[in-house]
Structure 1
Amino acid sequence: MKKLCFSVYRFIINKSHARSILVKVMHFETCRLWLAMCVVLAVSCNSLLAEMVLVEAGKPNAVMIVAQQQKQATEAANVIADIVEQISGARLPIITEGQVIPDEHPIRIWVGHSKRASSLGVTIPSGYDPAPRKDAFNEEGFVLRSIGNELFVGGNQDGPYRGTIYGAYRLLEQLGCRWFFPGKWGQVIPQSKTVSLKPMNITSKPDFAVRDIWLSGWIPTSTDERKAYMKWGEKIGFNHAKFYPTVGDGFLGFLLPPGEYFQEHPEYFAMDKKGKRMVHSKMYERHAMLCLPNPDVLKESIANLKDAFAGQRKMVNVASNGLGISPPDGAPYCFCEEFPMQSMNISVPRYVHGKIMSDEFFSFAADLARVFPDKYVSTMAYSNRIMPPLNVDIPENIMVLLAPISADVLHDNSSPYWRRQELVKIVKTWLKKTPHVVMYDYNPGLLTGMFVPERDVANSAVNIPMYHKMGLKGMSREGRKAFMQTWISYYITAKLLWDADADVDALKQEFYSMFFGDQVGPYVQAWWDACEQKLDATTTQAHEDFLINHVYDVAFVQKIRKHLEHAYELSMAHATTEQQERLKVVLLIADHLMAYAKMTQAESQMNWVLAEQHALEMFELKKQLHEASTFLMQVETRFTRPYFAEGRAKVFAEHQARFDGKVGNLVTALPRTMKFQRDRYDEGIIGEWFKADTNDADWQTRDSFLLWDQQEEPLTSKGHDYDGYAWYRTRFEVDASKINKTVQLYLGGIINEGWVWVNGQFAGHKKHDLWWSHNNHFQVDVTDLIRPGKPNQMTIRVYNDADVGGLFRRGYLWSPVESEKAQ
C-alpha cells in the first residue's frame, strides 16, 4: 500500500506529465472522475505519510542525498547518519545529488542547497556580507521542511555560517536527542529500532549573531577537549566563528611593537607616575601601553595598518575585515607631561581604582575607524574604559566588546540593586554610540575560588532577552571547564542566544526529566533552584565566592540536602542505570558544597586542622567529578592557587603550624565579635579613637570574620552599602608563658586599607589593595607594644573607598620559634 501511495503521489505532483497523458487517453468527464479519485488517494497517502519512517525494525527506510560539492552538507549528512545509527543500529545511506536514488529507500532527505530544493521552491538561507553596517551578520539560519516523502535540511553555509549543521542537529533534537553537556556523559540518545519524524516546516534564524562561550586557560584544558567542546557548541547553537576582528588585552601594542620602536622612539610608549616608560625593547607586545595623545603614535599606527591591509606588513591584530586594539590588562595610563592625556580626571573607584580612560582610548580608536571606514575596529570596554566616553563621537564601524568584570553575578538585570542597574545603563549608552556591541562577561561569574553552584541559569533567563530587546549583537563569554559550578548554564545560554524567547522553565524541566528521569528529576532541580534562590536573596553584590561564605552556610546546605535524599530513594526504582550514575555526580557536587560550608565554619572557629581536612575533601571530590566527566572539573597540577580549595588547605596548614609549635605558638586569638563604629566624616583621628581608654560603650558590634557589607542592611533600596572609614576595637589577654621572644599580630583580611594601634600605640599600616586581589591579610611585629599578663587593647581603622569593606577572616597573635625567626 505504501509503495502504491508513493507512486500515485509522485504521479500527481508531476502536473505537466499527468496532464499530457490524461488529454491523450481519456474523455474529459472520465478524466474529471479519475482526478477526483486521485485526490482521495492523495489524501489517504498524506495520512499514511503523517510520520516519515527513517528506520523501520532496524533497517534503513531513508536515503540522504547531499548537494554537490558542499562540504558542510556532507558533514551534516554524516552527523545525521551517525546519530541515527546510535539510536537504531541502522545507518542511513548517503549519496550525492545526481546519483541514482535507490527505490528501496522511499524517504528522501535532501541535505544542503540542493537543486531539488530549488525546484520545489524551498528557500534556504544564504549570503554573507561582512562590510560594516548596522544590520551586519543577520544572514544566518536554516530550514527543515518536509514535502510528501521528502525532507529538506539546509542552512546558510556562506562565510563563517554553519546553518546546515545547525539544521542537522535541530532535526536530531526532533528525534529526542539532547546534548546538555560536552562529552558522552552529557548526551541523551534514545534507543529504538524504529525511527520516525512528523511532518515539519521550520525556518529558524538566531536572535544574536555572536553566540559563544570560549574556554579560558584558568582551568587546564587539553587540545582534544577544546575540539570536543567546539563540536558540542555547534550541537546546541553556539557559533565559535570570529565575525569581528579578534581583540584582546594588549592588542594595542601590535600597532607599534616595542622591539621595533622603543630604542628610537621611547616617547611612543606610556609613562608611569614616577616618570618611567612602562616598556622595554624585549617586552611582549601585549604588555606594552602606548602614549595615545602623541600624534606621532596615531600617524605611525595608520601607516603600519595601511601596509598590513596591502599585504606588505604582518600584524597579529589585523584581519581582512579590520583590526583589534585594546590596552594591556589592568588599568594602564600614560602620565607623561609632554603629551598629557586629554583626561577629564574622573575616577569611579567602584569600577576601577584610577583614572577613567574612556575618552582617551576611544578617541584614538575613532580616529583609526575614520581612516578605514570599510573596516571594523574592534575594541574592549574594560577596566578603566568600561564606561562610554563622554565627549567622543563613535563611528559605526567600531565594535565594542563590553567586559564588565566588576559586575554583580548574584542577581540579574531586573534586580533593583545599583550594580546591575548601572550595567544596564552602560549597555544602553554604548548602543546609542555604535550598533556593534558584544557582551564579554564571565561564566563562571564567581571569578576565582571554590567552584560552588552559581545562578547563571536564572540570570540568563532575564538578561539575554533583555539584551535582545536592546539590540546587542551577541555574547562572547569567557568560560572555564568547570561544569560542576556552571551546570546547565552553557546549554541555556546557547538556547537563549538562538531564541531569546525560549521558555527556560520548559528547557529546565525537559533537562531534569530526560537526564534523571521523570520521578527523580524534579528533586534534583529543586536542589539547584534552592541554590539560585539563596544567592538571589542576599543583598551582597559580588563576583567572588569568598563573599558568599555567609550564604552557603552549613545549616542551609544541610536543609536542601533533603531534595537529593528523595531523589536518591526514588532513583532505585524509577531511574535507569545511566540516570543513577548522573545522580551520583550531583551528590558529589552537593558533598563538595557541604565541604565548602564546613571548611568556612571551621575557619571561622580557627580550627585549622578541620578546615584543612574539609579543603582537602573538596580537592578529592573535584578529582572524583573529573573521573565522571573531564568537563565537570579539572584539578590544577601546574601550581597551587591560594584561592582554590587546595590552596586554602595549604594556608590552613600554615596557620596551624603557627599554633602548634612547628614554626610558632599561639599567643591569643582575637575575639570574633568586636566593637564597631562608622566614621563617615573622618573624625576618628582628631578624636583619638585609637587611644586605649576611648569610651566605646555606645559603639555597635560586628563579626570580624565577615565584612560589614555581609552583615548590614543596605543604606538604600538600590543596595548601596556604607563606604568610607570605620573603626574596630577589641580587648585581649596575653599569657607571658606562651611568648618565645617576639610576637606577631596577624589579621586575616582588611579591605581595602588599614591602620592598627595596640594599647594606644601605632603598630602598622596595611596599604590599599583591590579587594579581589586576594592580597588582604596583614602581619606586623607588636612585641614592644603588648603587655603580657595585663589587659591589652587593639584598635583598627579601616578604609574602603568602594564596593565592600571591613575586617574579615580571623586574627590572632603568635610567637615564632627561633628557627622561624631566623628564617
Structure 2
Amino acid sequence: MRLTHLLSRCVLAVALAAVLAPAASSFASIVLVRAGQARSVIVVPPEADRYEKEAADELALHLRRMSGADVPIVTDGAGRDGMARILVGRAATAVVADLGVGRALGERVDEMSSRDGFVTRAGGDVVALAGARPPGTAYAAFDLLERLGCRWFFPGDLGTVVPRRRTVTIEPFETVQRPSFDLRSMWVCGFGGENLNRDDRDAIEKWRHRNRQSYDYEWNAGHNMQDTTAESLAQPEQVDVVARRILADFEREPQRQWYSLGWNDNYCHVSAVQAMGIVHPWYPLPQATDPLVRFYNAVVEKVEPTHPGKKYGFLAYMDYLPAPVTVRPHPSLVPVVAPIEQCPRHVPLGGECWQRDALLEAIRAWCRVSDRVLIYDYEPGFLIDGGVPVPCVTRMRHEYPLWHEAGVRGLYAQVQMTVMNNGPNLYVRQRLAWDIDADVDRAMTEYFGMLFGPAVTHVRKWWNALEHMMHHGRGHQHEDEIMKIVYPIDKVRRLEQHVRAAERRADAEPFRQRVRMIRFSQDNLMLYLQMRKAEDEARFADAAGLAERIWKLREQVEAFNPYFYKIGDLDRTNEHASFLSRGWAKHNASRAALIDGSAGDLVAMTGDAWSFRKDPHDVGVARGWYALDAAPGEWRSMRTSQIWETQGLEDATGRGYDGAGWYLTHVDVPGRFAGRRILLSFAGVYGQMLIWVNGRFVHHRPWNGPWWRIAYHAIEDVDVTMAIETGRRNTLMIRVHNEAEWGGIYRRVFLYAPAE
C-alpha cells in the first residue's frame, strides 16, 4: 500500500499532463455538481456488470444526498460540452487506454489472490475508475466518495456521514490501490436468523462493501468433520471415507473450488502417542495439529488427481492451533488460524502478555509452512462479554501489521454488529484490512469527529478511558468473568461526567441521537458492574433485579437503533441464554431462593475472603492438610468471588498459576438446623475440586474441561449433612486443582437447608 500513498498524495503533474488533455485544464478542479445542478454524467458500459452498476448507483445516490442533484447514468462515453464524465469500469478503460489497471494486481497473483485493487485517475473533465477485477471497480467508487467526504461508520443512516454541499468538486489525482489482505470479510453472527430482517442484512452488506470488505472471495473452513473421531485419524479406511464423500460432492458441484476439512467445534483429543508427546501450549492436552495435517494431506492426495486445483480449508483451533512440527500441509490446504481462547486485551511483543506473544509465534510458524494462511478472528474478542464496551483498536493497530508481515493472506472475523460493544473497532479493522499502513489516528479522529460533532471531545475522553482500562492491568482471561477487573466500578462511575458533558454539547441532530449510544453504553456498563458487585456481596436478589434492568435497557436500545445492540449476538438469538441478561436474572434469582425461605433457608454465608495457600508440588493430600490443624505454612487471603489469577497468581507476562490450591474457612452453624439436610452451594469453580468438612472427606468434583463445559451459571450443591456439626463452628477445606486457563473459586459459597 505504500505505492498507494505515494500516488495518492501528489498530483502527478507530469503523468497527468501527458495523459489528460488539454494540459491547461488538467489541474483545475473537476466540477461534478454546481449550485445543486448536475455538471457531470456517470458512464457505464452498455452491458454493465454487477459491480459497474453498483459503482454507478452508489455514486449517483451519494451525489444526490450531498447536493440534491440527480447525476445521470449513461452508456455513451463521448464527451459532453461543459459536463465532466465519471467513467466506470470498462467504460473507463475504453476511453482512457493507458489507465493501467494491471498496476493494481499486486506482486503475488495466484489462486488465493483477490485481485481487488483499482486505479482511479482524475483530471481535465474526466474521472476514470476501474478495477483489476470487477469488484475493484466498486471499491474505486467508494474510494472516490470517501475523497468527497462520505463515511460509513456503522450500518444504517445514523452511522453514515454524507457532507451537504451544493457544489461538489474533486481535485486532480491518481491513485493505484490494492488490498493488504486478499480476504477481508466478517460473519455477523445471526445472519439469516429471525432477529435479522432483510433490511438489516442489506444494510450490513452495503456497509461492508463500502468499507472495502470482500464481495465474492470464496473460502470455506467450517466445522465439517462430524463423522471423524480422533481415534480414526490414524486409520487408512477413514481417509477413504472422507475422500469418497468429497469426490461425490465435487461430482455434484464441479464448479466448487473450496472444501472444508475443518474439525468439529471442540477439542480434537488425540492420544499422546498420536501427538508424539507434544503438548499444546495453552491447554494441557496432546497437540493435535500433526495428526490432523497428516490426515488432511492423505485425503487431499486421494482427491487431487481427479479434481486438481481445488482448495481445502481447515481451522487451526483450540488444541490444534500451533503449526505442525513434523509435516508440512499439502499445497492445496489452507490453514485458518482461529485464536478462540487467547487473551484479547493486550498487545504482542510488549512483554506483558505471553498469550498474544505465543499466538504471534504460532501464526509465524504457520506462515513458514504455508503461504495460504488466513485468520479467523473474533470481535469483540470476548465471546461472552456482558454486552459492555470492548475497545481493541490499541491491539489491532499493533498486531495486524505483524500478521501481515508474517505472510497472512486474509482476515475473517466473527462479529457482533453491536456498536455499544465495538465503538470504532470495526471501522478501524476494515481500514487496516485494506491498507495495513492506514493512519489509525486519522481514522479515530474521523470516527469521533464526524459522528459526534460538538460532543467529540467528551466522547473521545470517555472511550479513551475505557480503552486504557482494557489494555492495561491484570487479567488475561477471555470471557466476562474478567470484566469487573478490567472495569473497576468506581473508575467507570467517574466517566459519567464525560457522558453528561457530551449530552450537553450535542445540541442538534444527528449528534444528539449518536450520543444516546454513549449514554446507553455507559448505563449498560454500570448496571452490569453493579450486578456483578451484588453477586460478589451475596446480594443475589439485588443482582437478579439489576439483570432485569439490563434486559429492559437493551429492549429500549434495540427499539431505538438495531445496530446499537443485538445484531448478530453470536449464535444467540435471545437474551434467555444462561450467559446473557435473562440468564443472569434466572441464575441470581435461583440462588436467592435457596436462602430466602422460598426454596431453602440460609444456614451460613461464608465470607468472600478465605485463607488460601498454593500447593505447587501437589503434596497437600499426601501430607494430610485436610485434617484439622494439620496444614501448617503460610496462608494468605483469597477472595472467592474472583478467579485466583486476578489476585496475584499470575506473573508479569500474564502466565497464571496452574496446579493445586487450598481454600480454608470457618463457619458457625446454628443449632436450629439440627436434623435438617444441609447443602454446600457453589456457583463457580474452575478446576477439579475435593471437599472436606471438619476433616472429613465429602465430595469430589472432577475436572470438567474448558470453560464452556463448566458452564457460566451452573449451581452445584454438595450434601454435607453427615459432616456438619450444628451448634458449633465448622471448618471447610476445599482443594482446587486447575490444569489450565483460569483457576479457583469465583462465585460466593454458602450453606443452606433445602425447604422441607
- The TM-score, its normalising length taken from structure 1, stands at 0.83
Structure 1 CA distance for aligned equivalents of residues 369 and 755 of structure 2: 63
- Residues 743/14 of structure 1: CA separation in 2 closer, same or farther (3 Å cut): closer
- SS of the aligned residue for 2:239 comes to helix
Separation in structure 2 between the aligned mates of residue 236 and residue 751 of structure 1, nearest angstrom:
42
Per-residue deviation, residues 566-623 of structure 1 (Å, max 9, x unmatched):
2223334xxx321011111111101111111111111111112221222122212222
Q: Quick check: 416-425 or 624-633, which moved more?
A: 624-633
The residue type equivalent to 2:221 in the other structure is V
Distance 1:368 1:227 in 2: 38
Match of 1:796 in 2: 734
Match of 1:471 in 2: 407
**CA deviation vs aligned residue, 1:378-437 (integer Å, no higher than 9, x gap):** 121112221112211223322101111111101122332211111011001100100000
Shift of 1:484: 1.4
Task: Write the distance in 2 (CA, Å) between the matches of 1:85 and 1:702.
Answer: 64
| 1:431 correspondence with 2:367 | yes
- 1:40-60 deviation per Cα after TM superposition (whole angstroms, max 9, x unaligned): xx63x45xx622221111111
- Aligned residue for 2:592, secondary structure, equals helix
Partner of 1:52: 30
Matched residues in 2 for 1:486 and 1:319: separation?
Answer: 38
Verify the 8 A CA contact 1:64 1:109 in the aligned structure 2: yes
- Percent of aligned pairs with the same residue? 27
Relative to 1, partners in 2 of residues 1:702 and 1:57: Cα closer, same or farther, differing over 3 Å? Answer: same
Name the SS for the 2:485 alignment partner: coil
Choose from 106, 109, 115 the match for 2:86: 109
Q: Which residue of 2 aligns with 1:157?
A: 133
**Structure 1 range deviating more: 74-83 or 717-726:** 717-726
| Structure 1 residue ranges without an equivalent (≥5) | 1-11, 16-38, 259-268, 273-290, 819-823
Alignment match, 1:510: 446
CA offsets per residue over residues 744-779 of structure 1, 9 Å max, x none?
110222111111111111121122123522436531
Give the whole-Å Cα distance in 1 for the aligned partners of 2:645 and 2:93: 66
Return the letter of the residue paired with 2:755. V
SS in 2 for 1:549: helix
Q: Which has the larger radius of gyration?
A: 1
Residue in structure 2 matching 1:766, options 701, 707, 718: 701
Rounded to whole Å, the distance in 1 between the matches of 2:533 and 2:48 is 60
TM superposition shift of 1:632: 2.1
Match of 2:481 in 1: 546
Contiguous gaps of at least 5 residues in structure 2: 1-17
Task: Confirm or deny that 1:607 pairs with 2:539.
Answer: yes
Check 1:94–1:680 CA distance in 2 against 1; reply closer, same or farther (3 A cut): same
In structure 1, C-alpha distance between the alignment counterparts of 2:501 and 2:534, rounded to whole Å: 29
1:68 pairs with 17, 32, 46, which one? 46
Matched with 1:242 is: 217
**Alignment-mate amino acid for residue 166 of structure 1:** Y
Bigger relative contact order (CA 8 A; separation at least 6): 2
1:740–1:816 CA contact under 8 A, matched in 2: no
Conserved? CA contact 1:516–1:582, under 8 Å: yes
Letter in 2 for 1:599: M
**Matching residue of 1:294:** 235
Distance, in Å, in 1 between the alignment partners of 2:455 and 2:574 is 39
Q: CA deviation at 1:789?
A: 1.3
What CA distance in whole angstroms lies between the structure 2 residues aligned with 1:658 and 1:739?
Answer: 18
Partner of 1:91 in structure 2?
A: 70
Look up the match of 2:276: 344
Alpha-carbon deviations, 1:510-561, whole Å to 9, x = none?
Answer: 11111111x4212211111111211221231121011232221221111222
Corresponding residue number in structure 1 for 2:121: 145
2:204 pairs, out of 229, 233, 242, with: 229
* Other structure's SS at 1:659 match: coil
1:193-342 equivalences under 5 Å are 193-217=166-190, 220-244=195-219, 246-249=220-223, 251-253=224-226, 270=229, 291-309=232-250, 311=251, 313=252, 320-333=256-269, 342=274
CA offsets 1:706-765 (integer angstroms, 9 cap, x no match): 1110110633x4222221001010001112335672111102221111111111111211
Contact 1:143 1:155 in 2 (8 A): yes
In the TM superposition, what whole-angstrom CA distance separates every residue of 1:199-234 from its partner, at most 9, and x where no partner exists? 221111111101012112398433442232122100
Q: Structure 1 residues 659, 234: closer, same or farther in 2, change over 3 A?
A: same
Tell me how large the CA RMSD over aligned residues is. 2.7
Given the two structures, how large is their TM-score scaled by the length of structure 2? 0.90
What is residue 462 of structure 1 aligned with on the other side? Answer: 398
Listed one character per residue, the Cα deviations across residues 309-368 of structure 1 (whole Å, up to 9, x for unaligned) are: 4x3x45xxx863342212211123577xxxx974414333x6345432211110121233
Matches within 5 A, 1:358-377: 358-371=289-302, 372=304, 374-377=309-312
Amino acid at match of 1:534: M
Classify 1:470/1:738 alpha carbon distance in 2 versus 1 (closer, same or farther; 3 Å). same
Q: Encode CA deviations 1:141-189: one digit per residue, 9 max, x unaligned.
A: 112211201111221334xxx1111111111111111100011121111
- What is the Cα deviation at residue 94 of structure 1? 1.0
Q: What residue number does 1:628 align with?
A: 560
Q: Tell me: CA distance 1:400–1:95, structure 2 relative to 1, closer, same or farther (3 Å).
A: same
In structure 2, the partner of 1:592 is: 524
The question of whether the paired residues in 2 share the 8 Å contact of 1:735 and 1:788 is answered with: yes
Q: Distance in 2 between matches of 1:133 and 1:61?
A: 39
- Per-residue deviation, 1:119: 4.2
Is the partner of 1:252 in helix, strand or coil? coil
Asked if structure 2 preserves the Cα contact closer than 8 Å seen for 1:436 and 1:473, the reply is yes
Partners of 1:510 and 1:568 lie apart in 2 by: 20
Closer, same or farther: CA 731–334 of 1 in aligned 2, 3 Å: closer
Match of 2:613 among 677, 681, 684: 677
SS in 1 for 2:438: coil
For the structure 1 residues 126 and 625, does the alpha-carbon distance in structure 2 shift closer, same or farther, using more than 3 Å as the test? farther
Distance 1:414-1:562 versus aligned 2 partners, 3 A rule: farther
What letter is aligned with 1:422? A
Distance in 2 of aligned mates of 1:661 and 1:385 = 49
Measure the CA separation in 1 of the matches of 2:446 and 2:597: 57
Bigger shift: residues 73-82 or 116-125: 116-125
| 2:336 is equivalent to residue 401 of structure 1 | yes
Indicate conservation of the 8 Å contact 1:739/1:815, yes or no: no
